[in-house]
């Protein structure tokens, strides 16, 4: 085949151009650490990487929500704990004063202490969380328990996503302290106070069973909150592990392997140097022939 | 044979070698001239008895291969098509993914914000974050729509410009045809071939030189652009958002869009009326579905301010243009308390509305129920990327084929300085010999005359 000087020069020049282009792309990948910058670099890997990013974003939102939900439950558990501690003392007082050896004055003193404990329980029942929400009020924004102990909240709990496609109900409604939960806490305490104030030993005795009941209710409510917290903790651990996997997946699909990128860059540089040398020789040959 | 006849013979030989030198000179002078095809000259012996005759030169002729030329024109069309299609798709891909464009990320961030709101639906900062994220989604849709519109507008400008260039080239071919009707100048033929190659690179098609020496240029679909001394004019016309190419030959105005399959114009038309149009349609459909689905959930729930029945996004009137017009309802931007986070009948701390919004994240409610919003955005942008990758590979393949044909053509028609130097030496020595012959005959004549 006949090869003209101009054709040789053109081929050599094109070769340098292509080698330069390859070297530039290799340099970009090696310096940025990213193999896939735009979809056309590797459409399948790009799509996989972006899907991993979407799942990461969802996980980030979920993590924030899990943290706040856990804080809410921890605060709820703390309130229930306060209520439980107060009820334990009330039970002690009730057991003691149900004894026939106690006189009216002692029972009146006990009534005062029970009254103070009732106030503590009411304050704990109306406690708020970090967002200002009433911990035992359900979805309502007003204080759930009146001074008389009437419940004005609702039974609604919050739906919280704990995993991909998984949600749980979070929250302990204040009905655990009402007759709907078994025995009305405030009514039981009020009855005890009345019996103590009237020096009614039989009345105090009769209050022991419902007091046991409400102690058990609150313990169950704490267990419920505790179980929800454990579920959130497990979900958060799983979420953290998922984020690590997603990060690895994204890196595997989108990032350049450092060793491969450096090697490719070195090869491209060598190819460019070689192409330039060939172009130089061709140019000399063409010059000699003219 | 007389000495005078010999003198004429010598003169003829000298002229013949000088013609060879002239052709060699023209070849050397045009070694870098685009489209120039190497010329050669025929030297034929004059017939006659022994000691009578000489050499006669024919016309200079071009060293060309018609089959190769046709293949080159076809390849020029394929190469031009691949070049503009690849460039346009790469440009569109950059507009959709570069310069802060991240529709996919914005959708992810919106639902991430909604996710955070689950456990704190009354938190004003988180509500503001969700409203801002909704605004970002809308802005990204508008930016993507603007990017596609800009890319298609750019393609239209290029088609308009290239159509003008094609018209000029067609006119050049017609002018060369008229000149070659009465002339045999190989340079005119070179210029006509070059114009035909460039025209093929622009609009595809094929050229054929008829028996009468006139070139006819025909588009891939059969429409005639150049017929002898007449050429049609190409122009770009936009009808109902679709770009069309019209050929006007003075009498008829024909839509030749479907007949331009190759060339740069063909590539741009493929881009504009193909991938770009599909991307615009998909984007609008996604924006429409996104706004409507989110609005349906939002309307059914209640804000902290007690408002209900309100759209989060200004409801798009139609699918067409939905992306370019997407915005968040101003009343919600002004007061994030209007963001509907609770279910009907529930108190302010209820997060039923948030959960309902969040359920849209992974639901297959886009693309006619085929996939989620995020997956549809990935598919849509990924389709542009896949097309760009394929076009880039095709461009490289076509470039390699073009190179191959150029080498083959150059092998036949290209000027080799080595060859021309050899020929020059050949003609030079032959001219010297002819001069010496003339000189010798002249001396003989002089001797004869002196003896008279």
Q: Closest partner residue to B108 among A54, A69, A133, by Cβ? A: A54
Contact between A131 and B125 under an 8 Å Cβ cutoff? The reply is no
The predicted structure's pLDDT at residue B2: 77
User: What DSSP assignment string belongs to A130-159?
Assistant: TTS-BTTSTT-SS-SB-TT--B-S----EE
Task: Quote the mean pLDDT of chain B.
Answer: 92
Chain-centroid distance, C-alpha A19? 51
pLDDT at A158 over 80: yes
Contact A39 B108 (CB under 8 A): no
pLDDT at A111 over 90: yes
Confidence at A236, pLDDT banded by 50, 70, 90 = very high
Among the ranges given (A106-115, A123-132, A258-267, B314-323), the one the predictor scored with the smallest mean pLDDT: A258-267
Work out how many CB contacts closer than 8 A connect A with B: 176
Nearest CA in chain A to B102: A50
Could you tell me which of B241, B266, B55 has the C-alpha nearest to residue B158? B266
Query: How many angstroms separate the CA atoms of B124 and A141, rounded?
Result: 15
Straight-line distance from the first to the last Cα atom of chain A, in angstroms, rounded to the nearest whole number: 20
Contact A65 B116 (CB under 8 A): yes
The CA radius of gyration of chain B, in Å to the nearest whole number, is: 37
Chain A residues with CB under 8 Å of B355 CB are: 159, 161, 167
Tell me the mean pLDDT in the region B7-35: 86
ipTM score here?
0.91
Angstroms from B211 CA to nearest CA on chain A: 30
Could you tell me which of A83, A192, A68, A90 has the C-alpha nearest to residue A127? A83
Nearest CA in chain B to A1: B411
pLDDT at A288 over 70: no
Residues B334-373: tens digit of each pLDDT: 999 999 999 999 999 999 999 999 999 999 999 999 999 9
pLDDT at A88 over 70: yes
pLDDT at B242 over 80: no
User: What DSSP assignment string belongs to B293-313?
Assistant: HHHHHHHTSEETTS-BS--SB
Contacts 24+ apart (CB under 8 A), B210-219: B212/B181, B213/B180, B213/B181, B214/B177, B214/B180, B214/B181, B215/B173, B215/B176, B215/B177, B217/B170, B217/B173, B219/B247, B219/B256, B219/B259, B219/B260
Task: Quote the mean pLDDT of chain A.
Answer: 93
Chain A residues with CB under 8 Å of B352 CB are: 159
Residues B370-397: tens digit of each pLDDT: 999 999 999 999 999 999 999 999 999 9
pLDDT at B50 over 80: no
The predicted structure's pLDDT at residue A289: 57
Confidence at A283, pLDDT banded by 50, 70, 90 = confident
pLDDT at A240 over 80: yes
Chain B residues with CB under 8 Å of A231 CB are: none
User: How deeply is A115 buried, as exposed, middle or buried, from its count of CB atoms within 10 A (0-12, 13-18, 19+)?
Assistant: middle
Query: What three-state secondary structure class fits B420?
Result: helix
Contact between B247 and B236 under an 8 Å Cβ cutoff? The reply is no
Angstroms from B249 CA to nearest CA on chain A: 39
User: How deeply is B428 buried, as exposed, middle or buried, from its count of CB atoms within 10 A (0-12, 13-18, 19+)?
Assistant: middle
Contact between A147 and A215 under an 8 Å Cβ cutoff? The reply is no
Q: Closest partner residue to B385 among A38, A66, A158, by Cβ? A: A38
* Segment 40-69 of chain B within 8 Å of chain A by CB: none
Tell me the mean pLDDT in the region A226-251: 95
What is the share, in percent, of chain B residues with pLDDT greater than 70?
98
Residues A56-69: tens digit of each pLDDT: 999 999 999 999 99
């Amino acid at each position: 085949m006949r090869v003209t000087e101009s054709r040789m020069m053109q081929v050599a020049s094109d070769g340098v151009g292509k080698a330069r282009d390859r070297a530039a792309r290799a340099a970009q990948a090696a310096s940025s650490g990213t193999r896939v910058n735009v979809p056309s670099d590797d459409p399948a890997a790009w799509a996989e990487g972006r899907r991993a990013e979407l799942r990461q974003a969802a996980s980030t939102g979920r993590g924030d929500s899990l943290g706040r939900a856990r804080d809410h439950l921890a605060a709820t558990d703390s309130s229930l704990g306060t209520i439980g501690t107060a009820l334990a003392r009330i039970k002690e007082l009730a057991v003691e004063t149900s004894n026939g050896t106690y006189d009216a004055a002692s029972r009146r003193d006990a009534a005062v202490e029970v009254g103070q404990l009732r106030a503590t329980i009411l304050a704990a029942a109306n406690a708020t969380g970090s967002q200002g929400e009433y911990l035992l009020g359900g979805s309502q924004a007003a204080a759930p328990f009146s001074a008389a102990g009437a419940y004005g909240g609702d039974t609604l709990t919050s739906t919280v996503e704990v995993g991909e496609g998984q949600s749980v109900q979070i929250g302990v409604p204040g009905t655990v302290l009402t007759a709907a939960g078994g025995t009305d806490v405030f009514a039981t305490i009020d009855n005890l106070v009345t019996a103590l104030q009237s020096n009614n030993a039989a009345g105090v005795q009769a209050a022991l069973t419902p007091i046991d009941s409400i102690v058990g209710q609150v313990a169950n409510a704490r267990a419920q909150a505790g179980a929800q917290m454990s579920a959130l903790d497990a979900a958060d651990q799983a979420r953290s592990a998922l984020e690590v996997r997603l990060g690895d997946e994204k890196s595997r699909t989108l990032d350049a392997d450092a060793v491969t990128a450096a090697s490719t860059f070195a090869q491209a540089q060598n190819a460019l140097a070689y192409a330039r040398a060939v172009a130089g020789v061709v140019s000399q040959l063409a010059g000699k022939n003219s | 044979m007389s000495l005078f006849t010999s003198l004429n013979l010598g003169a003829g030989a000298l002229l013949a070698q000088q013609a060879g030198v002239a052709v060699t000179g023209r070849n050397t002078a045009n070694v870098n001239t685009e489209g120039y095809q190497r010329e050669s000259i025929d030297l034929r012996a004059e017939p006659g008895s022994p000691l009578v005759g000489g050499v006669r030169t024919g016309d200079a002729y071009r060293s060309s291969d018609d089959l190769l030329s046709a293949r080159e024109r076809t390849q020029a069309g394929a190469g031009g098509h691949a070049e503009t299609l690849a460039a346009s798709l790469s440009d569109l891909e950059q507009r959709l993914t570069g310069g802060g464009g991240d529709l996919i990320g914005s959708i992810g961030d919106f639902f991430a914000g909604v996710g955070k709101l689950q456990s704190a639906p009354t938190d004003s900062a988180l509500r503001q974050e969700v409203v801002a994220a909704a605004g970002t989604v809308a802005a990204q849709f508008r930016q993507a729509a603007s990017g596609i519109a800009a890319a298609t507008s750019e393609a239209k400008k290029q088609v308009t410009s290239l159509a003008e260039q094609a018209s000029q080239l067609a006119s050049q071919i017609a002018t060369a045809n008229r000149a070659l009707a009465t002339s045999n100048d190989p340079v005119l033929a070179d210029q006509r071939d070059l114009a035909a190659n460039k025209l093929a690179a622009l609009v595809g098609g094929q050229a054929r030189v008829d028996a009468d020496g006139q070139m006819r240029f025909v588009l891939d679909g059969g429409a005639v652009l150049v017929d002898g001394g007449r050429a049609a004019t190409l122009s770009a016309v936009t009808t109902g958002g679709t770009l069309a190419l019209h050929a006007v030959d003075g009498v008829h105005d024909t839509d030749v869009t479907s007949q331009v399959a190759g060339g740069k114009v063909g590539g741009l038309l493929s881009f504009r009326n193909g991938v770009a149009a599909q991307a615009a349609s998909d984007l609008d459909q996604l924006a429409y579905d996104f706004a409507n689905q989110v609005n349906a959930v939002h309307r059914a729930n209640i804000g902290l301010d007690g408002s209900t029945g309100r759209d989060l996004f200004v409801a798009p009137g139609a699918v067409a243009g939905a992306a370019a017009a997407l915005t968040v309802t101003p009343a919600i931007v002004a007061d994030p308390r209007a963001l509907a986070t609770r279910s009907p009948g529930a108190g302010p701390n209820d997060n039923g509305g948030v959960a309902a919004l969040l359920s849209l994240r992974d639901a297959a409610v886009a693309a006619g129920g085929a996939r989620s919003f995020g997956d549809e955005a990935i598919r849509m942008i990924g389709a542009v990327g896949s097309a760009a990758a394929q076009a880039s590979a095709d461009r490289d393949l076509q470039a390699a084929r073009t190179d191959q044909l150029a080498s083959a053509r150059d092998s036949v028609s290209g000027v080799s300085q080595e060859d021309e130097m050899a020929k020059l030496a050949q003609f030079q020595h032959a001219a010297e010999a002819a001069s010496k012959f003339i000189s010798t005959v002249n001396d003989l004549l002089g001797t004869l005359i002196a003896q008279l």
